[in-house]
Chain A
Amino acid sequence: AQSVSQHNHHVILSEAASLELGCNYSYGGTVNLFWYVQYPGQHLQLLLKYFSGDPLVKGIKGFEAEFIKSKFSFNLRKPSVQWSDTAEYFCAVQISSGSARQLTFGSGTQLTVLP
């Protein structure tokens, strides 16, 4: 079965700092990859996704993620964070073929951006 690791449980940054959140998955086959975000008091929402093609994907609010197949990684980045980026970020993987359609989520990274 696939699994997802997010090694940073809590990240604290000042505004304008650069962000990189790590995500590694374990599955030998083809996967779809996602980052979801949960802002305080809100529901989880999709930030960006990778299915195929260019391994560097861009999402909303200036976020991007790079799929590195050899490292089984899909790290999330943002060059300059804002206070409004304070949220919990979840990486998720989905096996891209077969009958299994559930997303497997990591344990999440709480990002706190200090004004």
Chain B
Amino acid sequence: NAGVMQNPRHLVRRRGQEARLRCSPMKGHSHVYWYRQLPEEGLKFMVYLQKENIIDESGMPKERFSAEFPKEGPSILRIQQVVRGDSAAYFCASLPTGRENTGELFFGEGSRLTVL
């Protein structure tokens, strides 16, 4: 059973470009979280999605950031017009269906975004 898969593992973008980060949850998991880790800081919650639904996006910046989790395919975190401050590690985590209240997240290895 493959774990949570994130790609790309490393992404370099110039200011103003778009970044797309993908997350494939574990088989049987229908809930996905995205977290951001800035240098010297902890993991900051961004968004919580269920297939075709955004459950909680209270941690998402108001502009340039969006997330989706379609019925088919991976969850996508999209950052438009990137700025240097977007440079961070972005982690995806998934939860098994029916265990949403457990907090037992299964994390991917993260995608490291560098904005030049």
Contacts and interface: CB of A to CB of B under 8 A. Distances in A.
**Do A and B interact?**
yes
Given A101-B48, A108-B42, A46 B105 contact: yes
B7 to A, nearest CB: 14
Interface string B1-34: 0011000000000000000000000000000010
Interface of B: 3-4, 33, 35, 40-45, 48, 55-56, 58-59, 91, 93, 100-105, 107-110
29 contacts: A4-B42, A6-B42, A34-B103, A34-B104, A43-B4, A43-B108, A43-B109, A44-B91, A44-B93, A44-B105, A44-B107, A45-B107, A46-B104, A49-B103, A49-B104, A90-B42, A90-B43, A92-B103, A96-B101, A100-B56, A101-B55, A101-B101, A102-B56, A102-B58, A102-B59, A104-B45, A105-B35, A105-B43, A107-B40
